[in-house]
Structure formats: structure tokens, C-alpha cells
A = this chain, B = another copy of it.
Amino acid sequence: MSREFRRAMPLLPISMVMQLTELTARQIRYYEEHKLIQPARSEGNRRMFSLDDVDALLEIRELLDQGINMAGIKKVFDMRQVNDVRIYDKTIISDAELRIILREEMLQAQRLQKPSLRQGGLSRFIQIKSK
């Protein structure tokens, strides 16, 4: 679980993601525009990417290479989401239990930092502030 949390943590600026994926900023933003990724934002509106985002971008690149377009990639991703949920259902921790854990963690984090992210997913629980 901690691993997944870490991987969902928005840490990287777009410049790093560009280097890791060899994609241009234009491409990355375009894929976001098409909902293939949803990077978090800092208070100053900078995109902050997680390792999951990087992973997704690398896969987008592969799929594009295979001639698949935005819609197709979206479909592939959506299908995977379904699979993830299925797999997740089989884990020991219940959804409710998970929520409690996440809430606890979030509250603890807020004791240390000011809240700031406005977006869904796990990254909701990770704080990014700018000033």
C-alpha cells in the first residue's frame, strides 16, 4: 500500500517528466487535455506529476507508436481501471477501511502542511503549496 501511495504522490515538475519520457511539454499537456493523465497542480498552478503519471505517459508513447489514437488509448486506460478495481476488490483491506486509513493519514499530513491540492485521486491527500 505504501508503494502505491508513493507512486501516486505528485512530486515531479514537467521538465523532469519531459526528460524521463522524452515527450515535449506540448505533448504532455495535450494528453492531459484528452484526460489520459490528470497531474496535480501546485498552488501556483504548476503541474506536478507522480510516478504513475510518468508510467502512463510512457505507455501512451508506446500505444501511439502502435498507431492507436487518443480515443483508443483512453479506452485502453479505462479498461485497465476496471481491472484494477477488480484486483483491488480481492485485497484484504476493504474500501471503508482504506478510506479510514487515508483520512487518518491526510489529517496527520495537514498537521504539518497547509492543504492545497484540488483534484481527485490519491493525490488529494498529498499537499503541495507554493508560497
**Judging by beta carbons under 8 Å apart, are A16 and B11 in contact?**
yes
Given contacts A3-B113, A19-B113, contact A102 B130 (CB under 8 A): no
Contact A130 B20 (CB under 8 A): no
List A79-107 residues whose CB lies under 8 Å from chain B: 92-93, 95-96, 98-99, 101-106
- Number of this chain's copies in the assembly equals 2
**A32 CB within 8 Å of chain B:** no
Instruction: Give 3 nearest A-B pairs by CB, closest first.
Output: A2-B127, A105-B128, A19-B95
Interfacial residues, chain A to chain B (CB-CB below 8 A): 1-3, 5-7, 9, 11-13, 15-16, 19-22, 42, 48, 51, 54-55, 58, 92-93, 95-96, 98-99, 101-106, 109, 112-115, 117, 122-123, 125-130
